[in-house]
Amino acid sequence: MPPKSPLDDPEQAAFAWARYKRIMRFMLLVTIIVVAAAMAAIFWSEAEVSPHFFIAVALGIGLTMLLASALMGLVFLSNGTGHDESIHNPLADEDGWHDSGEDDWRR
């Protein structure tokens, strides 16, 4: 039977999700600043570009940064709560994998 995840505790889960939301709010602010800087750089470059280019660049940068932030935030959430350690791998003994901290593969 796999061990219980620390996220099964409602208090710890609430704390973890609050931390995730805080990270996402911060990254939304960073994304807005980066998109504004990119728009200003394009505007001041004196290149003649269409409004569609500005829209495409803003959406591309914005959505890419927000998606990356969301995925990395989930990695931090999973690792920071101990959820990663609570996973039981039934195949760990079969494939020869064990984390003893030694370099067994060099022998």
2-18 residue pLDDT tens: 667 777 778 888 888 89
CA distance 79 to 84: 6
At residue 98, the pLDDT reads 59
To the question of pTM greater than 0.85 for the whole model, the response is no
CA distance 46 to 82: 51
Which structure tokens are listed for 29? Answer: 């602010």
For residue 57, the SS3 value is: helix
At residue 99, the pLDDT reads 59
At residue 46, the pLDDT reads 83
> For the segment 27-78, what is each residue's pLDDT rounded down to a tens digit?
999 999 999 999 999 999 988 899 999 999 999 999 999 999 999 999 988 8
At residue 47, the pLDDT reads 85
User: Residue 84 pLDDT more than 90?
Assistant: no
User: Residue 93 pLDDT more than 70?
Assistant: no
